[in-house]
Amino acid sequence: MDLSAVAFYVFSILIIGSAAVMVFAKNIIHSAFALMFTLAGLALMYALLFAGFVAVTQLLVYVGGILVLILFGVMLTTRGYFEKVKTRTVNLLPSTIFVAIIGVLLIAVFTTTEWSTMPLEDGEVTMTGLGELLLTDFMLPFQVAGVLLLLAIIGAVLMASSARPPHQPPQAEQPDHPDEDPKNIS
C-alpha cells in the first residue's frame, strides 16, 4: 500500500468520524467545530486528488467563511448562553433498514462496476491562469462580491444587535408619591 492510499484512508476516517460527531453532538458549538474538521478533511481529499484550486476554495469559502458565519449566527442569537439540544431517537428501525439497504446497493455497485483509470499528469498548473484572470479581467466583479459579503455580515450583526432589548439596570424602589420622585419634572 502506497502513501496516497494510506492518506486516503486516514482522511476518510477523519471525515466520517467528525461527521458522526457533528450529527450526534448535543452542543451546537461542538457540532460546528466537528463540521469544520469534516470540511477540512474534504479539502485534504481534494488536495490528494491534485485539485489544488478546489481544495483552497473549500478551505476559504466553507471553512473560513460559511463556518465562521454559522458560529457568528449562533453566538449572536443565543445571547451569551447555550441551551442543550434535546435529541431523541425517532423511527430507529425503519431508518436502520433503509440505511442498510442503501449501503448494500452502494457496495454492490462499487464491486460490480468496471472502473477505468488514467494516469495523472504532473506539472500542469491551473491556478496561475485563474489567479491572473481574477486580478486582471475579473478584478471589479471580485471586489464587488467581497464588498457585498462584507455589507451582508455588517447588516446581520446590526439586525441581531438591534433585535436585543437594551440592558435594563435593576430597578430601585419606587417612591409612593410622584412628588417625591426626583426624576419627575412635570
How large is the angle between the packed helices 67-77 and 28-48, nearest 10 degrees? 180
Clarify whether residues 30 and 77 are in a common domain: yes
**Residues 41 and 19 sit within 8 Å (Cβ to Cβ):** no
Is the residue at 137 inside a domain?
yes
Q: Is the pLDDT of residue 91 over 60?
A: yes
Cβ neighbours of residue 77 closer than 8 Å, sequence gap 6 or more: 160
Choosing from 62, 89, 116, the residue where a domain stops is 89
pLDDT digits over 11-33, tens only?
A: 999 999 999 999 888 888 888 88
Clarify whether residues 130 and 85 are in a common domain: no
**Residues 67 and 22 sit within 8 Å (Cβ to Cβ):** no
Predicted confidence at residue 10, as pLDDT, reads 93
Sign of CA dihedral 87, 89, 90, 94: positive
Choosing from 37, 65, 89, the residue where a domain stops is 89
pLDDT digits over 97-111, tens only?
A: 999 999 999 999 999
Predicted confidence at residue 118, as pLDDT, reads 72
pLDDT digits over 138-181, tens only?
A: 889 888 988 888 888 788 778 777 655 555 555 555 555 555 55
Q: Is the pLDDT of residue 56 over 90?
A: no
Predicted confidence at residue 69, as pLDDT, reads 78
Is the residue at 66 inside a domain?
yes
Is the residue at 44 inside a domain?
yes
Predicted confidence at residue 164, as pLDDT, reads 56
